[in-house]
Chain A
Amino acid sequence: MPLINSPAELEDFRKGILSKRDPNKPCIALCSGSACHASGSGEVAASIEEEIKKQGLSAEVDIRKTGCHGFCERGPIIVIHPEEICYLQIAPKDVPEIISQTIKEKKVIDRLLYSDPDTNEKIIHESEIPFYKNQNRLVFGSNGNIDPKSIDDYLAIGGYSALAKVLFQMSSEEVLEEVKKSNLRGRGGGGFPAGRKWEGSRNAPDETKYVIVNADEGDPGAYMDRSLLEGNPHAILEGLTIGAYAIGSKEGYIYVRQEYPLAVENVHIAIEKAEAYGLLGKNILGSGFDFIVKVHQGAGAFVCGESSALMTALEGRAGEPRPKYIRSNVKGLWDRPSVLNNVETWANVPLIINNGADWFTQFGTERSKGTKIFSLVGKITNTGLVEVPMGTTLRDIIYKIGGGIPGGKRFKAVQTGGPSGGCIPEEMLDLEVGFDELTKVGSMMGSGGMIIMDEDTCMVDVARYFLDFLTDESCGKCVPCREGMRQMLKILTNLTEGKGKEGDIELLEELAEVLKEAALCALGQSAPNPFLSTLQYFRDEYEAHIKEKRCPALSCRELISFHIDPARCRACMICGRKCPSEAITGGKNQIHVIDQEKCTKCGTCLEVCPPRFGAVRKLSGDPVPPPIPEEERIITRKSKQK
């Protein structure tokens, strides 16, 4: 007998939970997303539990292991409620002090706070940290307040009220109209209007319909879906159930990458608990609406993120895409109408129902409504997950929220849209982020990956990298993709190895056309984008690689040489010791020289040379200066006073 059998019972239950929670009771919220976990939040959690027990505070302090907070660069993160004190980069050794100082004596520990990089001002509250202040975390914000393994936490923040509203106060047409009015566009890459997709399935003449969550987040560098599914699985379940009601589906699937074991685990727990509570399964909340959800794991194929390939994989086959001449919302999984949407798209649905389409449309631009979660990664100071309204400029995201480029390096390009997207150069940083705006400049929104590249990134290598990725992930069925990419990769690899020749760019452009026009699916059709966009904005780099055998970013291994400047070397011997190929000769007071024959270009010497000397430099396109004669390598030092 499920626990909750009507909307009234749901509200009573919710009130019950809230009445047992004292908002003034100290609560330590520890981010337990996968990235913080990798930074050691598991050990921190154990320390906190131990210390709380040791100090006899088990009854007075709550511990909540929440989903990802998004500020992944500074993990492990804890936020102490109710004061909202945010401590960053916590280690187990900090825990006893936190418990005795902050929990017991309400004293803030300065060294654990965020420090403004320009003013050195300390910031106490999470929401005031510039990284968070400049965001609008409508969808992602809840992560920090709930333990994803607890359904009660989700109910405490108002969860499942949208579902109750839909089942008892709205007809399925009204739900569809609301989603259409909101102009919600798919957050997985296509940007297709969700309402229109749902309508197509609703109108299809078939009794059996499916709703599917695409959690096969394959774009390298993008991990928003993972953090959402790990951190707030109920939001997705709720959205999915609402969608099922709107189109008339009784069965849903969540297709999640097996590389996300925590997401798989949390979604299974969420389904179990939702069923036990009567919020999923037969006769949901006593409404008469039945809906079940099954979880399928991916098995390591990027192409399965493409909707028709995903459905093929759900059918237990190799994920080869099908041409979408008949749309999958009409003939999809097992040839039935199937609505497939991305994790973030589904997570937006409860918000739209609860607050209304008009509320939603106040965010964003004219044709891109709402917010978008981006994964801001690469050469950026504040790596993490960022949610902003559509229309925010790239400059604001990268500098105001991202904190700019570390190491004093110059920004070069931001790559968006994953392997189907393109690179956007500095002159376009005032672009207002949106689906069409990004497509217009030769890139795309994609799932939201935003990879920042600086002056050390070679754009020809970026094109080669993406093509290498896609060649490995292509299903191999159609000629343009399999053979076209094979040849494109060969040419691009040759370019990065100094084997480029005149005519290569033109041949690449011809191959790009065949892929774009004739490939069977979107993977092949969008595969040339990284090449085409880097060619558009960084043509000079391509020409340097071909004509001068030079890599302007000093990155392509075959085209660079490492050289120790004899004028700056102080013979400290550090590089000589660390060189894995033993390619550096020299000794105490003897200027070091790199043997170019032995050098493997690993870059260790450049990394370890003390910054005050800065003697190691990279050269490209010019011959390496010959080593100075041995006699001239002796350094005479001023003798120390005895």
Chain B
Amino acid sequence: MSEILLQIDGKEVDATDGMTILEAAQRVGIVIPTLCHHEKLDPYGACRICIVEAEIRGWTRLVAACLYPVEQNLVVRTRSEKVDRIRKMILELLLAHAPDAFELQELAKEYGADKDRFEKEASFCVHCGLCVRYCAEVKKKHAVGFVDRGTRREISFVPEIASKECWDCKECFPLCPTEALQAAFVLTEALSFPPPAYKPGLKE
């Protein structure tokens, strides 16, 4: 476990080998926004909200703080004109799907994101993957997964597993930043669960 010294927003930070920028920042109380990150899950690096400027040996580039491993003499800037501009756009792109999601609205206020910048999209899933990854990595049930790719990608429950496991679990529901997960479950339930197992309504 070697000691690594890096700089975040002008602050000197002690970190250990194997840490990510996000973990190092959390150590010294610097907040970097995240969406798809969860301490119980492997970092995913998909939402890109945690993007920060990382400078080493004179080269600067944008990296995902939740995944980038700390390096000796790394200089990190968690806010800058460019970083803010990109976070704003990412939020606006997501708000086209889920304009009412609480987490997005909070961040939108901070970065000046306009939820009407883009036309509303049909699906309100933001693909944070928290439900899929939680079910796979923590519960190990694999009841919900991703299907398809690109703009057609969506979450999908496996009816046979969901009908057996989900009712007594539902631990993924509070993780979802939008209503997409609950909606997907209700739809799967309505379409696929055989009549004897059917329980009317989704009780909150």
Q: Which residues from chain A sit less than 8 Å from chain B, CB to CB?
A: 301, 303, 318, 323, 325-326, 471-480, 482-487, 490, 510-511, 513-514, 517-520
Contacts and interface: CB of A to CB of B under 8 A. Distances in A.
Contacts of A325: 63, 67-69
Interface stretch (B90-98, B172-180, B183-191): B90-98
29 contacts: A301-B149, A303-B149, A318-B149, A323-B45, A323-B63, A325-B68, A326-B69, A472-B150, A478-B45, A479-B46, A479-B48, A479-B93, A480-B93, A482-B127, A482-B151, A483-B90, A483-B94, A485-B151, A486-B121, A487-B96, A510-B89, A513-B86, A513-B89, A514-B86, A514-B89, A514-B90, A517-B62, A517-B86, A520-B64
B86 A482 contact: no
A482 B48 contact: no
Task: Enumerate the 7 nearest inter-chain pairs by beta-carbon distance, A residue then B residue, closest first.
Answer: A476-B153, A483-B93, A474-B150, A476-B150, A518-B48, A514-B89, A517-B62
Contact of A476 (B62, B82, B96, B148): B148
B118 interface: yes
A485 B89 CA distance: 13
A323 B150 contact: no
B143 interface: no
B25 interface: no
B149 A480 contact: no
B127 A476 contact: yes
Contacts of B119: 490
B153 A482 contact: yes
A262 B6 CA distance: 53
A519 B86 CA distance: 11
Nearest to A301: B149
B151 A513 contact: no
Nearest to B68: A325
Nearest to A476: B153
Interface in B145-167: 146, 148-153
A609 B150 CA distance: 43
Given A323-B67, A514-B89, A480 B150 contact: no
B147 to A, nearest CB: 9
A484 B93 contact: yes
A487 B118 contact: yes
Given A326-B69, A487-B118, A520-B45, A473 B150 contact: yes
Contacts of B94: 479, 483
Given A323-B68, A517-B62, A520-B48, 13 more contacts: A325-B63, A475-B153, A476-B152, A477-B129, A478-B48, A479-B93, A479-B126, A483-B90, A484-B89, A485-B151, A486-B151, A520-B46, A520-B64
B18 to A, nearest CB: 11
B199 interface: no
B48 A480 contact: yes
B4 to A, nearest CB: 15
Interface in B50-76: 51, 62-64, 67-69
| Centre residue among B67, B89, B127, B146 by max chain A CB count within 10 A | B89
B90 A513 contact: no
